[in-house]
A = this chain, B = another copy of it.
Amino acid sequence: MIHKFAQSLLVLGGARSGKSRFAQMQAEALPGQLVYIATAQAFDAEMEDRIARHRAVRGARWRTVDAPLALAGAILAESRPDSVVLVDCLTLWASNLLLCEEDVAAAIAGLTAAIANAPGKIIFVTNEVGLGIVPDNALARRFRDIAGDINQAVAACVDSAIFVAAGLPMVLK
C-alpha cells in the first residue's frame, strides 16, 4: 500500500512489524535518487547480521550513508530536490545519543530544523517502545523517554505519519 505524502513521512511501529519494509516501499514508489541513512552501529554479531540482512533486501537504486550521531548534518548533506532520503531508524539514533551523552534537546532541535530545510522528500522509521511494562533499570527508562520525545517532535513537524502493525498501516496523520 502506497501512502501519498507531500514532503516528509514518519513510519512508527514495533520490532519486526514490517515498518522498515513499509518505509522502503514508500521510497521506491517515488522517482529520483534513493539515499538510505543508517543510524545503526554494529556492536556484536547479532547486530551485524541484522544490518546485513536489511542491506541485502534493498536494491541497486539505494545509496547507503552511515550517521549514528550527526543525523541532521547527513540529511542536509544528502537531500536534493529530486532525492528521497530514508532515515532508519530514530530509535537507534536515540540510543546512540544516550550512550554518547549527547545533548538530546539540541539534537532534536537540529533534526527538526533539518526536516524544515531539506529540499527533498524524507522518510523516517522509528520504534514505539513505550507500550510495555515500565523497565526495571533507570537507563532503559531514560532511553524510553528520549525515544518518545524524538518521536513526538518528529511527528509534530512531518506532513504524514503512519503506525504499522503486522505490516499493515494505520494513518496517524
Contact = CB atoms under 8 A, between A and B. Distances in A.
Interface in A110-161: 126-135, 138, 140-141, 143-145, 147-149, 151-152, 154-156, 161
Q: Please classify how large the interface on chain A is, using the bins under 10, 10 to 19, 20 to 34, 35 or more.
A: 35 or more
Contacts of A12: 165-166
Nearest to A1: B173
A17 interface: yes
A52 B167 CA distance: 33
A166 B161 contact: yes
Interface of A: 10, 12-18, 46, 126-135, 138, 140-141, 143-145, 147-149, 151-152, 154-156, 161, 163, 165-170, 172-173
How many copies are assembled? 3
Nearest to A21: B152
A140 B169 CA distance: 25
B165 A128 contact: yes
13 contacts: A13-B130, A16-B130, A16-B144, A17-B128, A46-B138, A129-B131, A129-B132, A133-B135, A133-B143, A151-B165, A152-B167, A161-B166, A168-B173
